[in-house]
């Protein structure tokens, strides 16, 4: 290997050229200065380069030697850091203008070998020497050379050129498509080893790195890349590596930082969200769209402007409907889950009515909502959970999706099965969807009656958000004419127990709000009064430690409603047990206690942990202040 390297260097030194590349020199042998219109090598002035000791070889010879060395070098751990003299030589080679007479062999670019050797040295080295690389002259020269190759404007924030002829293709003779992939892999290697550097570099205002990455996702550039020699093969690698680089900052715990805000502003200015969707629709096979969709989802969840770009692009691109449908209904659960989260964010209020493309996507041909029904019955539990969330946000806008909930073989059956699922996230999402449907059901509320037993059971769920959603859903079903169903499932009994004993204030508040709504039904109010709700909630409403809390305020308002209830004529005694699910949220009993109190069963474990509800006399009801 060393003999080959020595022979190569000697040949280069004697012939003065390789691959037909010559360095324009003046009479003194120094590189000639850039002069506009002086040939293909006339370029914007390169960045300042650190002082460099004269090298016996010119930059073309250095690049050729580096390419041969990269091919001959065995992979393995680097024994020494990147030499400073080698950095200076590489910086000089990347900064000096070059004139190309003959295309390099194997459709390579002039700088490909130099970039490949740099990538191998960096990837095999330790992380400590890389911390100074993004601020070095070599880093600046590298991205300046890439900008020149791509024919980007000298100022990253310059105004776009006026309409006219198509822009010139990149100079692939300097950096080929394979060399472009090498540059991106080099940046990815540096950023993954030193992740905080990635956010700092990408968030720089008017930075060449972010401008170059955004340009690489431009549909016009991707069309140029697909026409380049071996460009079609390199196009997926270019797009996916750019997405990997842009995903690195979101893996850091930098929420709300100025750097992240600057990065989001830069990505928004480059229309990255819209370009990602167009890339997935027009340039990538479905099997390679997981990473771009994941990045697009993260952008939309973090930045409302990026979400608006996605909605606008999905509404205008002709191929978006077919791509979104294939991604949702395909056999790629991670892709489907990310896309469901993205669509759920797009349909959330205050989007009036939701995007039309989304309504058509979920309804399918004939508006049968078969695509949404398939998602609600997906074999993957996270996909089903996110489909429930999407349905919950969609029904808030009303429309045909509400009618589809009550139809035979419609959307309600998979929601009822989700209430019984072992996955806590799926149960939580299903209760959220049913609560949203109950909120907008109106005259269609009786169709949701089959959900009352399951929602009553989930008042004892171990997850507090699930209990809160279940309480809210039961309260919204009361005004829809389902008072009888609620009483048969003893929902008022369970809500009263949750309002008194749940350890989470948010769940107590939801239960009290539900009781206030259900109390408008005289039959339910009579049952609550017979249970002694007024006496049992008095201490909660007047607790000095929580007198200013939202729970205490709702409790006092509900007590005012209870005072207006007539006294029960025949208090219920010895009510038979009902199968409304785990009567005790603490021990998970499957039946309720046969008493008006509810919430426990004889012999359950928590009967020893909590005193019986009627074992001690209730204090007299104090005089309540006027409302």
* Whether the Cβ atoms of residue 470 and residue 461 lie closer than 8 Å to each other: yes
Cβ pair 494, 533 in contact under 8 A? no
Question: Between 544 and 503, where is the model more confident?
Answer: 503
pLDDT at site 227:
93
User: Of 607, 521, 534, 526, nearest to 572 (Cα)?
Assistant: 526
Q: What are phi and psi of 252, to 5 degrees?
A: -90, 155
Residue 545 lies in a domain: yes
| pLDDT score of 151 more than 60 | yes
| Whether residue 163 has pLDDT greater than 90 | no
129 in any annotated domain? no
Is residue 436 a part of any domain in this protein?
no
Q: Among 126-130, 228-232, 295-299, 492-496, where is mean pLDDT lowest?
A: 126-130
pLDDT digits (tens, 9 = 90+) for 102-134: 566 677 788 888 898 888 888 876 555 566 777
Highest-confidence segment of 7-21, 254-268, 589-603: 254-268
CA dihedral over 146, 148, 154, 157, signed as positive or negative:
negative
Contact 274, 309 (CB under 8 A): yes
Say whether pLDDT at 434 is over 70: yes
Three-class secondary structure of residue 235 per DSSP: helix
* Backbone φ and ψ of 31, nearest 5°: -60, 135
The answer to whether residue 25 scores a pLDDT higher than 60 is no
Residue 168 has a pLDDT of 82
Neighbours of 524 (CB within 10 A): 21
Query: In which element (H, E) is residue 21 found?
Result: strand 21-22
Averaged pLDDT, 76-97: 68
The pLDDT of residue 166: 62
Mean pLDDT calculated for residue range 13-18: 43
Window from 148-152, 176-180, 551-555, 562-566 with minimum mean pLDDT: 562-566
At 323, phi and psi to the nearest 5? -65, -45
Strand partners, 31: 25
Question: Is 451 inside a domain boundary?
Answer: yes
Q: pLDDT-derived band of residue 4, with 50, 70 and 90 as boundaries? A: very low
Q: What's the Cα-to-Cα distance from 133 to each of 66, 75, 104, 140, 147, rounded to whole Å?
A: 19, 21, 29, 9, 18
Task: Identify the DSSP state of 607.
Answer: H
Query: Domain for residue 188, yes or no?
Result: no
- Residue 100, SS3? strand
More confident residue, 627 or 427: 427
pLDDT digits (tens, 9 = 90+) for 27-43: 333 333 333 333 333 34
Give the pLDDT score at 136: 83
Which runs of consecutive H residues, i.e. helices, occur in 16-111? 59-72, 84-95
pLDDT confidence band for 574 (50 / 70 / 90):
very low
Per-position DSSP letters for 414-476, written without gaps between them: HHHHHHT-S-HHHHHHHHHHHHHHHHHHGGGGGGGGGGHHHHHHGGG-SSHHHHHHHHHHHHH
Q: Model confidence over 504-534: pLDDT tens digits?
A: 999 999 999 999 999 888 899 889 888 888 8
CATH value at residue 550:
1.25.10.10
pLDDT digits 0-9 by tens, 274-326: 999 999 999 999 999 999 999 999 999 999 999 999 999 999 999 999 999 99
pLDDT by residue (tens digit) across 327-366?
A: 999 999 999 999 999 999 999 866 556 788 998 999 888 8
Judged on CB neighbours under 10 Å (0-12, 13-18, 19+), 191 is buried
Is residue 176 in a domain?
no
The answer to whether residue 529 sits within a structural domain is: yes
3-state secondary structure 534-592: HHHHHHHHCCHHHCCCHHHHHHHHHHHHHHCCCCCCCCCCCCCCCCCCCCCCCCCCCCC
For residue 149, being part of any structural domain is answered with no
Strand partners, 420: none
What domain count does the chain have? 1
Q: Return the half-sphere exposure (C-beta side, CA atoms, 13 A cut-off) of residue 210.
A: 28
Mean of pLDDT values over 435-448? 88
Q: Reply yes or no on whether the pLDDT at 243 is more than 90.
A: yes
Give dist(CA 455, CA 461) in Å, integer.
10
Measure the CA–CA gap between 182 and 180, rounded to whole angstroms: 5
Nearest to 423, CA basis, from 388, 395, 372: 388
Residue-number span of the structural domain to which 466 is assigned:
441-567
């Amino acid at each position: 290997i060393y003999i080959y390297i020595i022979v190569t260097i000697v040949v280069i030194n004697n012939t003065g050229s390789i691959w037909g590349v010559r360095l324009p020199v003046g009479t003194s042998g120094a590189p000639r200065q850039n002069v506009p219109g002086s040939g293909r090598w006339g370029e914007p002035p390169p960045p300042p380069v650190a002082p460099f000791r004269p090298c016996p070889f010119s930059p073309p010879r250095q690049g050729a030697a580096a390419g041969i060395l990269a091919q001959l070098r065995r992979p393995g751990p680097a024994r020494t850091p990147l030499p400073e003299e080698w950095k200076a030589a590489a910086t000089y080679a990347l900064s000096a203008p070059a004139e190309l007479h003959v295309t390099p062999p194997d459709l390579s670019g002039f700088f490909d070998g130099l970039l490949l050797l740099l990538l191998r040295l960096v990837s095999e080295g330790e992380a400590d020497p890389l911390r100074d690389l993004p601020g070095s002259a070599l880093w600046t020269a590298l991205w300046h050379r890439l900008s020149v190759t791509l024919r980007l404007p000298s100022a990253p924030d310059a105004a776009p050129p006026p309409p006219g002829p198509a822009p010139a293709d990149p100079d692939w003779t300097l950096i080929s498509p394979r060399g472009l992939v090498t540059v991106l892999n080099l940046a990815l290697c540096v950023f993954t080893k030193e992740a905080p550097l990635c956010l700092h570099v990408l968030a720089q205002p008017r930075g060449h790195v972010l401008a170059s990455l955004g340009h690489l996702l431009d549909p016009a550039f991707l069309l140029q890349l697909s026409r380049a020699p071996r460009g079609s093969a390199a196009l997926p690698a270019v797009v996916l590596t750019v997405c990997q680089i842009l995903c690195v900052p979101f893996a850091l715990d930098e929420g709300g930082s100025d750097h992240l805000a600057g990065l989001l502003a830069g990505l928004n200015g480059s229309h990255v969200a819209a370009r990602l969707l167009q890339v997935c629709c027009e340039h990538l096979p479905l099997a390679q769209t997981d990473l771009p969709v994941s990045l697009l989802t993260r952008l939309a969840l973090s930045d409302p402007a990026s979400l608006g770009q996605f909605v606008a692009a999905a509404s205008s691109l002709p191929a978006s409907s077919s791509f979104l449908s294939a991604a949702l209904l395909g056999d790629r659960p991670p892709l489907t889950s990310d896309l469901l989260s993205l669509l759920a964010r797009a349909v959330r209020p205050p989007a009036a009515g939701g995007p039309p493309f989304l309504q058509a996507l979920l309804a399918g041909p004939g508006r049968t909502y078969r695509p949404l029904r398939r998602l609600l019955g997906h074999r993957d539990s996270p996909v089903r959970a996110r489909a429930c969330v999407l349905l919950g946000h969609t029904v808030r806008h009303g429309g045909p999706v509400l009618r589809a909930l009550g139809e035979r073989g419609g959307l309600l059956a998979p929601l009822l099965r989700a209430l019984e699922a072992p996955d806590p996230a799926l149960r939580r999402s299903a209760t959220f969807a049913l609560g949203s449907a109950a909120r907008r059901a109106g005259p269609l509320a009786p169709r949701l009656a089959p959900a009352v037993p399951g929602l009553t059971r989930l008042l004892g769920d171990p997850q507090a958000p699930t209990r809160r959603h279940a309480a809210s859903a039961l309260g919204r079903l009361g005004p829809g004419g389902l008072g009888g169903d609620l009483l048969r499932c003893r929902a008022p009994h369970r809500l009263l127990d949750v309002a008194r004993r749940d350890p989470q204030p948010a769940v107590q508040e939801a239960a009290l709000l539900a009781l206030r709504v259900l109390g408008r039904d005289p039959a339910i109010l009579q049952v609550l009064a017979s249970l002694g709700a007024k006496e049992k909630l008095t201490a909660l409403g007047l607790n000095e430690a929580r007198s200013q809390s939202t729970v205490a305020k709702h409790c006092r308002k509900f007590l005012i409603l209870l005072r207006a209830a007539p006294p029960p004529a025949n208090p219920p005694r010895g009510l038979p047990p009902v199968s409304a699910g785990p009567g005790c949220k603490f021990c998970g009993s499957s039946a309720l206690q046969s008493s008006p109190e509810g919430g426990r069963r004889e012999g359950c474990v928590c009967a020893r942990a909590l005193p019986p509800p009627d074992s001690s006399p209730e204090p007299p009801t104090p005089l309540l202040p006027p409302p």
